Amino acid sequence: MIPYLDDFDASGEREPHRSILSTQVVPSILASLANEGFEVLVSHDLASKAEYNRLHADDPLLTRLPLIEPQYQPTATP
Amino acid sequence: MVDFRDRVAAALRARISPKGGVAIKKLANGIGRSAETIRLWLNGDTAIKVEDLAAVARYLKDPTLVAEIFRDLDAATVRKRFLWFTDRGFCNDAPAGHAEFVRRHLGLSPLLPGDGAVYALRNLGWVELTASGTAARLRYHAKGIKRGAAEAARGWLLDHADRIFSLSRAVLVGFEWVEAAELSVARIVAELDLAAPPSAVPLCRSERKPLDLLPSRLGEVLRAWRHAPDDAEAAAHAVRLGGRFSIFAADDAGSVICHRLGQIMRMPRRECEGANLLTWSDPPYAAELRRAVLEAREDGPTHREVRGPIFGPPRHFNRLALPVGDNIVTVTELRRN
């Protein structure tokens, strides 16, 4: 698991998306979450994610988003 | 102009008897010089050599001796200076360090885990510089330095060219640092121009392909190599790819040296031949080629399709990499499209 700050890579994005993402969207989200006491960590190891899900299978706070549904897609509108 | 002979004399007098605790003769024996030479230094009649000064400091076990003599080169003048060259073309001092500046700029808590400096290199397209005395070290990302940042860094380097005697750089390619030291200002300026192309210029992309998808002429070279590895070069000449036949040496530590560059390769020959790839002035391409050479060393024959700017101009070619003896050879065939 590594900090999201170290993992986020917008270097391949076109402008103005790169600037908006890296100077506005990501810092705002990280700052908001930090204010709530959260750290955002990233793993690219799906096995660890599967293990995490297994260990927390009974955790009612663990919400699994049905990512296939349109409202959870990045282009979705509220 | 400071006369250092007076300073040396004063510093020595403070340490040698009768004022200090060390006798002239003892010091002379200890550093392998005559007592007369020591007296000449004490009187300020002769300039001390650097190696003698170091020997005296070592013998006296007194590191403050050198600092006392060169007191005008104190911490204030040799302290590190942290600079950011930003997308808007500004040169910003970051007195509390590069990462702190970025966090403040983005409104991120200092407690948030992660490296703010690397975030700025990767995502903001900034160029980082750490200056310390006559040494400077640059860091930037291989893809997408902002033009304003490159221009600002370029201007700073040219302004300080006569004061920088040791210049190094580290380029972030993916998650890997490509480092080189003892570079010239002109060389770094050229690199920055390459690294901050106009937005229309595509990035260098490399894709590993199956060997059975090799273009026919490279396929001939592979067949010859399979028959006898040493035949690969003759086979490349036979299919008119001899001018694109290059030789590299790689070691277990991951160093890759270019022994020979194909005769018709449009790359800066004087810079490339005989050099470690990581010192080439096109770090993204050098890192790609290094990976390909190490891959061939590990896996045997490999085929890659490469597309993008190579030392500036756009190129599109297939590359076959083969182990031959202790070396790795590469043969490339340009794509017509």
Give the span between the Cα atoms of B15 and B18, in whole angstroms.
Answer: 9
Query: What value does the mean pLDDT take over residues B39-51?
Result: 89
Q: What is the pLDDT of residue B314?
A: 84
Band (pLDDT 50/70/90 cuts) for residue B159 is confident
- Decide which of B74 and B210 is more confident: B210
Query: What value does the mean pLDDT take over residues B255-272?
Result: 91
- Residue B331 pLDDT more than 90? yes
Q: What is the pLDDT of residue A78?
A: 47
Q: What is the pLDDT of residue B1?
A: 53
Residue A60 CA, chain-centre distance (Å), reads 20
Other Cβ atoms less than 10 A from the Cβ of B72: the count is: 9
Band (pLDDT 50/70/90 cuts) for residue A67 is low
Chain B nearest C-alpha distance from A45 (Å): 16
Give the span between the Cα atoms of B95 and B105, in whole angstroms.
Answer: 13
- Decide which of B196 and B321 is more confident: B321
Asked which of B8-17, B58-67, B182-191 is least confident by mean pLDDT, the reply is B58-67
For residue A20, which residues of chain B lie inside 8 Å, CB to CB? none
- Residue A77 pLDDT more than 60? no
Which CATH number is associated with domain B4-71? 1.10.260.40
Which class for A52: exposed (0-12), middle (13-18), buried (19 or more C-beta within 10 A)?
Answer: middle
Please answer yes or no on whether A5 and B141 come within 8 Å at the CB atom: no
Band (pLDDT 50/70/90 cuts) for residue B296 is very high
For residue B125, which residues of chain A lie inside 8 Å, CB to CB? 11, 18
Cis ω on the peptide bond leading into residue A16 (within 30° of 0)?
yes
Reported as a single tens digit per residue, the pLDDT across A47-60 is 766 777 778 777 76
Residue A49 CA, chain-centre distance (Å), reads 13
B167 by DSSP, 3-state: which? strand
Domain range summary for chain B, segments of one domain joined by +: 4-71, 75-195, 205-334
For residue B199, which residues of chain A lie inside 8 Å, CB to CB? 14-15
Band (pLDDT 50/70/90 cuts) for residue B217 is very high
Please answer yes or no on whether B116 and A11 come within 8 Å at the CB atom: no
DSSP B239-274: TT-GGGEEEEEE-TTS-EEEEE--TT--S-HHHHTT
Query: What value does the mean pLDDT take over residues B132-147?
Result: 88
- B296 touches B322 (CB < 8 A): yes
* Architecture of the domain whose range is B205-334: 2-Layer Sandwich (3.30)
Reported as a single tens digit per residue, the pLDDT across B179-194 is 888 888 888 988 888 8
Give the span between the Cα atoms of B288 and B282, in whole angstroms.
Answer: 10
Beta-carbon contacts of B251 under 8 Å, excluding residues fewer than 6 positions away, are: none
B190 by DSSP, 3-state: which? helix
User: Would you say the ipTM is above 0.95?
Assistant: no
* CB nearest to B106's CB, from A12, A14, A23: A23
Residue B303 CA, chain-centre distance (Å), reads 29
Other Cβ atoms less than 10 A from the Cβ of B289: the count is: 25
For residue A3, which residues of chain B lie inside 8 Å, CB to CB? 112-114
* CB nearest to A8's CB, from B87, B123, B125: B123
Both structure tokens of A27? 């810092």
Query: Would you tell me the crossing angle of helices B50-60 and B24-31 to the nearest 10 degrees?
Result: 120
Q: What is the pLDDT of residue B127?
A: 96
* CB nearest to B113's CB, from A5, A9, A10: A5
- Residue A62 pLDDT more than 80? no
